[in-house]
Structure 1
Amino acid sequence: MTVPDYQSLMLPVLRAVADGNEHRLADVRRLLAEHLGLTDEDLALRIRSGAPVFDNRVHWAVTYMVQAGLLRRTKRAVVELTERGREVLAEEPSSVDNVLLSRYPEFLEFKMRARERQQDVPTGAATTPAPHSTSSGTPREQLADAVEEANAAVAAELLNRIRDREPTFLEQLVLQLLTAMGYGGRAGAAEHLGRSGDQGLDGVIRQDALGLDRVYVQAKRYGADHPVGRPEIQAFVGALHGAQADRGVFITTSRFTDDARDYADRVPARLVLIDGLRLTALMVLHNVGVQDEQTFTIKRVDEDFFEPA
């Protein structure tokens, strides 16, 4: 038989993990292949990057349902059904697709992030595009939309991975990211300060060899339900003052309240606030915690080649 599209695989995936236990994705794929009656020839089909078509479609079915909150990634290549996923199965739907997933605000937010990334953070080399594009634009525009949706899915997974790690991991990660962005330069350095006596400062970027130009960093690993408010920004400004510094970057895996952003804009110190969405978008852009999977090249006619001699 033909390998089903990724939306057609959503309901079978949910049913395969319906017992509520953790399941390795490799086991899920094997069970689905047997249930669907896929042949060796079907499983041998490859996309242009070389990955199996079936594996790629299961991956995207899982990715979309994770974004909608029907599945949860518990560890690398392992998923389990959530309470929301159980509720969907209890409805006994004939299918699960993007229309059904769109009832959940988390999924709609994920779809919107892909569009926002095109405006806020330009991307470099493309990763494997999402399995569909809803754009009615040109092939070039549809490819760009698909790339941004794929990168948005990667960014969302990055955020979940970071929140699952210890706070020190985030503190060291942000220094690596700022270094990858060019801060510190050839003569500067990045130092992790997250220890006793650091006065609430988690790291410092020295922009010159003598350390006269310093940027201090604060990193807070919070869940989506714990926004950073004005008091925490005030405490950060106080720590900067104690270090005789006037530049700081406050990074959180959550978000900032409007009051916090307003306060940061009005204080004399130069503050940059980076929330979880911006953090992971920058990680994707600067290849921190991610790898390039596939690059697409679009050709055009060389008009000079056809010019008369």
Structure 2
Amino acid sequence: MAIPDYQTLMLPVLAIASEGEARVPDVAEKIASMLGLTDEEREEMLPSGKQRLLHNRIHWAKFYMSKAGLIRSPKRGLFTATDAGRALLATQPTAIDVALLKSYPTFVEFYGAASSGASSSEAPAALAATESAITPEEQIDAAHAILTSALRADLLTRILEQTPAFFERVIVDLLVAMGYGGSHENAAMRLGKSGDGGIDGIVDEDRLGLDRIYLQAKRYAHHVPVGRPEIQGFVGSLVGLGATKGVFVTTSTFSAPAVEFTRGLQQRVILIDGTRLTELMVEFGVGVRSSRMVEVKRLDEDFFNEDI
């Protein structure tokens, strides 16, 4: 089953906290067992890959309930239900959500700081609690994914509008950014200069030129996939040159037979389609630049640990 959103998790989190001091990992394990989550679901990460999804949602369930006075943290890493939290459980609620938390004055005060526009480090979290079923981290990751997807689509469109020579320069820039080619000048000299009908270029795999990678580049529209015959021709050129490594780059896609053909070859042939190409361009900063940086800070628990 899918991992419940953080509001759905509020009730089981409070119930477990009412049994005594608890830690997020222990609560996550209990809830996962209670819900019958698979190992994959238990280990599912946020899109950022920085935290388990279940742990993140439990954290925010705990955080919002603490603002309503239902949960307190007696010491680092531990939390437990307050008298108010136990009193709420005694009413046997069917669910706990943000709407219910608004019946507590302390949460209303917390939420009011956001809705009134007051300067508060917690204001964005309060707004997130009332406007979305997902946690703030999930909202950040989702927004980042949307922006990145749009950027990659724009990159592909712009590449297709340019000349084949420009596409070759894109590949040069990308390979150099990834650490291949030795230098931009050397990579540019080798790319497109081999003279072989099946090879568009050659780059050194390392700065010393101990091994070489042979390239083929096809600037095709998205609806025109690269088929098996073109891959076979590329591999034939590699065999003729005694080469063992090749990279075939296209702005479109590869047909299923083309992909299947590369499996089991003696040569190492990497296929980079338009999607992967733009992913790498974004990752290595080719054709893009940063327009806005958002720094998210967390509480430094060690700073407040007097035992250190």
Aligning the two structures, in what range does the TM-score lie when normalised by the shorter sequence? Answer: 0.5 to 0.7
- Which of 130, 145, 148 is the equivalent residue of 1:151? 148
Query: How far did residue 283 of structure 1 move?
Result: 0.4
Distance in 1, matches of 2:143 and 2:210, equals 44
Query: How far did residue 288 of structure 1 move?
Result: 0.1
What percent identity do the matched residue pairs reach? 48
User: 1:247 corresponds to which residue?
Assistant: 245
User: 1:3 corresponds to which residue?
Assistant: none
Is 1:139 aligned to residue 136 of structure 2?
yes
Mapping of residues 1-309 of structure 1, within 5 Å = 118=47, 136-185=133-182, 189-190=186-187, 191-194=189-192, 197-208=195-206, 211-308=209-306
Question: What residue identity is the alignment partner of 1:304?
Answer: D
Q: Is the 8 A contact 1:188 1:208 kept in 2?
A: no
User: 2:81 corresponds to which residue?
Assistant: none
Distance in 1, matches of 2:250 and 2:183, equals 27
- 1:226-251 CA deviation, whole Å, 9 max, x = no partner? 10010000011111122221100101
Q: Is the 8 A contact 2:179 2:206 kept in 1?
A: no
Q: Is the 8 A contact 2:247 2:271 kept in 1?
A: yes
Question: What residue identity is the alignment partner of 1:142?
Answer: Q
Change in 2 beyond 3 A, CA 1:135/1:218: farther
SS of residue paired to 1:295: coil
Change in 2 beyond 3 A, CA 1:266/1:188: farther
Query: How far did residue 173 of structure 1 move?
Result: 1.1
Q: Is the 8 A contact 1:250 1:271 kept in 2?
A: yes
- 1:158-187 CA deviation, whole Å, 9 max, x = no partner? 000111111121122112101111223579
Query: How far did residue 194 of structure 1 move?
Result: 2.3
- TM (normalized to structure 2)? 0.54
Where structure 1 has 5 or more consecutive residues not aligned to the other structure, the ranges are: 1-117, 121-131
Larger relative contact order, structure 1 or 2 (CA cutoff 8 Å, min sep 6): 1
Q: Is the 8 A contact 2:172 2:184 kept in 1?
A: no
Distance in 2, matches of 1:119 and 1:260, equals 32
Q: Is the 8 A contact 2:155 2:278 kept in 1?
A: yes
- 1:50-96 CA deviation, whole Å, 9 max, x = no partner? xxxxxxxxxxxxxxxxxxxxxxxxxxxxxxxxxxxxxxxxxxxxxxx
Change in 2 beyond 3 A, CA 1:283/1:240: same
Question: What residue identity is the alignment partner of 2:257?
Answer: D
Query: How far did residue 193 of structure 1 move?
Result: 3.7
More helix by share: 2
- Find runs of 4+ consecutive structure 1 residues off by over 6 angstroms: none
Question: What residue identity is the alignment partner of 1:280?
Answer: T
Distance in 2, matches of 1:152 and 1:138, equals 21
Question: What residue identity is the alignment partner of 1:204?
Answer: I
SS of residue paired to 2:263: helix
Q: Is the 8 A contact 1:217 1:251 kept in 2?
A: yes
**Matched positions, count:** 180
Distance in 1, matches of 2:208 and 2:302, equals 52
Question: What residue identity is the alignment partner of 2:195?
Answer: G
Where structure 2 has 5 or more consecutive residues not aligned to the other structure, the ranges are: 1-46, 50-127
Change in 2 beyond 3 A, CA 1:175/1:136: farther
Q: Is the 8 A contact 2:253 2:274 kept in 1?
A: yes
Change in 2 beyond 3 A, CA 1:170/1:251: same
Change in 2 beyond 3 A, CA 1:185/1:194: closer
Question: What residue identity is the alignment partner of 1:157?
Answer: D
Distance in 1, matches of 2:171 and 2:290, equals 20
